[in-house]
A = this chain, B = another copy of it.
Amino acid sequence: MSTKHQLLIYLKEGKDTWVSGEYLAHRMAISRTAIWKHIRNLKEDGYIIESSPKKGYLLRQSSDLLLVNEIQEGLTTIIFGKVDIAYFRETDSTNLRAKLLASDGAPEGTVVVAESQTRGRGRRGRSWFSPSGEGIYTSIILRPSISPNEAPKLTLMASVAVAETLLSMTSLKNINIKWPNDILINGRKIAGILTEISMEMDRIDYIVVGVGINVNTPYKSLPLDIQDIATSVLMETGKPFPRIALLRAYLEWLEIYYDTFKTRGFEPIMNRWKSLADIVGHRVSVDMIDRVRVGEVIDIDKDGFLILKEDAGSIERIISGDVTLVNN
């Protein structure tokens, strides 16, 4: 652990009381000037620390940044976020960073986190609104021993983990997973998932699962084109939520479901997914890259594919697409 983070622990131990510089210098066996430098550094990291020549230092408020030490503090996972976290104040895209790390050999469980993205992406090269400090933008590297055909399961797994995170941490109830990769509240998108795969023909090298969650985004900061379709925890509950706690919970839920996937298979996850989704039985239009199909969703099958019964009667098995409810 760095000296800075050791110092932070002593400040946190103080719990809203002053800790003297002399005490800190003694405990850490460094000079009071060194203490002062590290305090300045912590302030730059977003920690609100008061100083008094007589009383010493007081940690008034923890940082609101998604700092690696804060994410890892109390994180109950075994691998996810424990192996390594690459943190960026700003980056182009956490998925892109994760892909570059994975190509260079980064192990399963490596996490990329950014405060903001300049080229945040969704499916089909769409952009994902990623303002600084208001959302969670994170990507994780997985290296499962599965066939490339099974990869869609991991998108559904991640969407269940995001839903569980929101259900367990916030007061939000009306959560609906929209196949294949969006999390909605009252019909508006609160989170999205972008899964990218690197593989040989019959062998997955790695999968990057990227997630964007709108946490403390106020309505007024939404760009015009998504004002009617996006929402956030803040918008739905009326109050901001600490992003760090949500991110930690997401990593924990994701690891739980990934373990489930590896030990018990996809079925329990699919069952939970179905209880969180509301698509089977609905009449929809599915916009795919090369075609559009209209019909009734009769199932999401055991591999996570959407099974559509077209009006003409034929059955289509769809791996991915944009689903819109249509009237009968």
Contact = CB atoms under 8 A, between A and B. Distances in A.
A224 interface: no
A320 interface: yes
Copies in the complex: 2
A200 B123 contact: yes
A40 interface: no
Given A99-B103, A100-B103, A151 B201 contact: yes
Contacts of A99: 103, 198
A198 B198 contact: yes
Interface string A211-228: 000000000000000000
B201 A152 contact: yes
Given A100-B103, A103-B103, A200 B196 contact: yes
Contacts of A195: 200-201
Interface residues on A, range: 20 to 34
Interface string A115-133: 0000000011000000000
A289 interface: yes
Interface in A179-214: 180, 194-203, 205
Interface of A: 96, 99-100, 103-104, 123-124, 147-148, 151-152, 155, 180, 194-203, 205, 288-290, 319-321
